[in-house]
Chains A and B, each alone.
Chain A
């Protein structure tokens, strides 16, 4: 079955960087687009970024554009999110999620999430 396991969350100071990873299994990772979605404490879901199955297309929410970079290593079945210039408003649980196809069909499976806290 599809498994998505996020790691790399933690407490970081404003302005610093953090890299999240997502280990995927149970499906052919290189055939599907992958997303990052976040949820601030007590708030709703906010889509962050998506990358196409082969990595050539990436799209970002305006709130993270220029600061976050989504990437993937299909040889390692792993998705990444490099987060730079972190702000307190980036504090959230970050979910890794699989797209139904390349990137435009929507999420069909979600990981359990990893908490990122940006605080001085």
Chain B
């Protein structure tokens, strides 16, 4: 049972826009910033979004992040087959004094 809650799966067709949610509490998302990571099959994770909505250089602007209260979202527009991957949210938790991850969302491009 992860501290941050994500849907286990999501799907969309090429060109579509999909959103992945991440729900937490006042001790994590509610008081700290959220990062998002992409993990392609068989590879190490890669940072996709940091500080709720900032994209590192090299990450396409099709990826965007947002946060409201104790929830955060990752949006992917113009869906491509290469986007088929696992996506994880993460935040520092003030009560646990540690980082927490969401359980991950497996995105399928139909």
- Chain A residues in the interface with B (C-beta under 8 A): 35, 37, 44-47, 50, 59-62, 95, 100, 104-113
With A104-B92, A107-B35, A108-B56 known as contacts, the answer to whether A45 contacts B101 (CB < 8 A) is: yes
A61 to B100, CA, bound (A): 9
Chain A residues closer than 8 Å to B88, beta-carbon distance: 44-45
Contacts of A108 in B (CB 8 A): 47, 50, 56
Contact B101 A106 (CB under 8 A): no
Would you call B44 and A111 a contact (CB within 8 A)?
Answer: yes
In the complex, the answer to whether A45 meets B104 with C-beta atoms within 8 Å is yes
Minimum CB–CB distance from A42 to chain B (whole Å) comes to 11
B50 near A100 with CB under 8 A, answer yes
Residues of A close to B46: CB separation below 8 A: 110
Interface residues of B in 32-76 (CB under 8 A from A): 32-33, 35, 37, 39, 44-47, 50-51, 56
**A44 — which chain B residues lie within 8 A by C-beta?**
2, 86, 88, 101-104
